[in-house]
Structure 1
C-alpha cells in the first residue's frame, strides 16, 4: 500500500520531532518545516530516515504567507499529502500581560494563531476532495494554556491558543464533507526547549511537581496522541481537542 505523507510544521524539535519519529515508525513519509535551527533539522531528518521513512526538510517562515506557500509547494512536489500536523509555536516571553512588550504580543499571536490559520487554510486546499485532494487529517497543536489562561506567565499565548481551539471546532464542521477530519491536541507542561527559549530554563522543575501526575510530560507522550488521532482508530473523531496535560 502507498505510504501516507504527512507535513509537520515546527517538525524538527520538541513535540514536532517526536511526532515525526513516531509517524515514521507508523509508516508515514514526512515533510518537516522549520525556521532556523539547521543542525536540529538535519539530525531529525537522519533519524526519520533511519526509521525507514522518506523525509524532506523545508525551511520556511510561517508568519509570512509566502513561507506557507513555499512549504506546501515543496510538499506537493514530494507527493500527495494525506495529513498535516499544525505544530509550530512559541511563547517567546514570560511575564504579566501589562509588562509584555507590544511587539512580543504581536509576534506571539502572529506565530501561534495567524500562522496556524494560514497553515490550516493551506492544508484544506491540499487535502480537500473539493480541491482535488484525497482527504486526510489536520491536527492542530494547541496548549493546556488555552483553558487555564496562564496568568502571570503568558496570557497572550493562552489567548492565541484558545483561538486554535476555536479553529479546530469550526473548521472540522466546515470540511467534514470534504474528506477531512480536523482534531486538536492540547499539551500541558512538556519537556521541550519552549521554556528555555522564553528565558525560564528552570520552569519544568519548578512547575512539574504541581501537575497532578507529579511531573512534566515527554514529547513522545504527546506524539502518541497525535499519531492516534491521525490513525484509522480515530476515524470517528473530529472537531475536538484531546488534552495531554497530566491532569491539569
Structure 2
C-alpha cells in the first residue's frame, strides 16, 4: 500500500469533512478538520474535505473576510494546490487558522494566506511529495521526475513566506514546525489569543504513523467506531464475555 492510501485508510472516519458555518459578524468560517482529497466522489469513499467542495463554496462567498480553520494531516497535493489558489484568488481577505495540525498539503493553504494564526500547541509539517507507480524503469524514472517538479513547486510556494530559508532541506527532513517556529519563519503571522482556561489545540487527533518523524504522542482519543461500540449494549456485553473467557484461560 502506498503512503497516501495508508494515510487515507488510517484516518478514514476520524475527521469531520468540510463544514461551512455562517456567523453573526458576516465572516463565514470554513472548517477543514479532515484529510484533503480531490473530489466529492473521493470524499464519499475515503471521507475527507474535498478541494471540489472547498473551491465551490469559496467562489460563492462575497464576505469581505472569510476564516479557514485547519486541523488536517494533509492528503492529495494537487487538491491542496487548488485550494491554495482559491484562497489567493478570493477578492476579500482569507484568514487561515491552524487549530491543530496543518501537515503536508494542508500546509499549502497556510502558505497561501497573507494572515495565518497558530493556536497554542498547533503545528505545521512539510515533506517531500509521495506517489505510487507501476511499470518499467522508464516509467519509474519519469514518475520520479514529476515528483521532483512537484517538490520544486512546493519550494516556490513556501519561499513566498521566507525566501532565505532552506525549504529543500526542510522538505527532505520532514520538518515539523511549532507555532513559535512557524511565526519566526514568516510561515504564520501570529499566535491565537488564548483565553484563561482554554485548552491547547489538539494537534495529534489523527493517525500520523505514516510519517517518519511525527511527534510521539500517546493516543487519548477513540475512533468513531470505538465510541459507537462503547455505547452499544450488545458490544459491551460481548466484550465482557470475551474478557471473562481470557481471564479463565489465562489465570
**TM-score in terms of structure 1 length:** 0.34
Q: Which has the higher contact order (CA 8 A, sep 6+)?
A: 1
| Structure with the higher fraction of residues in helix conformation | 1
**Largest Rg, 1 or 2:** 2
**TM-score in terms of structure 2 length:** 0.33
